[in-house]
Amino acid sequence: MKKTARDSQKEGRIVNVSSIGYIAAYREGICFDKINDRTSYVNYRAYGQSKLANILHANELTRRFKEEGVQITANSLHPGVITTNILRHLGLVGGIFNWLSNYVNKSIPQGASTTCYVALHPQVKGVSGEFFADSNIAKTSEVAKDADLAKKLWDFSFKATMSNPTSLSS
Give the pLDDT of residue 40: 87
pLDDT band at 97 (very low <50, low <70, confident <90, very high): confident
Q: What is the domain partition of the chain in residue ranges?
A: 2-163
pTM value is: 0.86
Sort residue 126 into left (φ over 0), alpha (ψ -120 to 50) or beta. Answer: left
Burial class of residue 8 (count of CB atoms within 10 Å of its CB; 0-12, 13-18, 19+): exposed
Residues in the chain: 170
Q: Active site includes 41?
A: yes
Comparing 98 with 6, the larger pLDDT belongs to 6
Give the pLDDT of residue 17: 97
What is the Cα–Cα distance from 158 to 170, expressed in whole angstroms? 19
Taking residues 58-72, report their average pLDDT. 97
Dihedral sign, Cα of residue 84, residue 90, residue 91, residue 97: negative
Give the pLDDT of residue 86: 64
Catalytic residue among 22, 26, 41, 44: 41
Structural contact between residues 19 and 79, judged by C-beta atoms closer than 8 angstroms: yes
Give the pLDDT of residue 61: 98
Give the pLDDT of residue 19: 96
Give the pLDDT of residue 87: 63
Give the class (CATH, top level) of 2-163: alpha beta
pLDDT for 95 beyond 80: no
Give the pLDDT of residue 52: 98
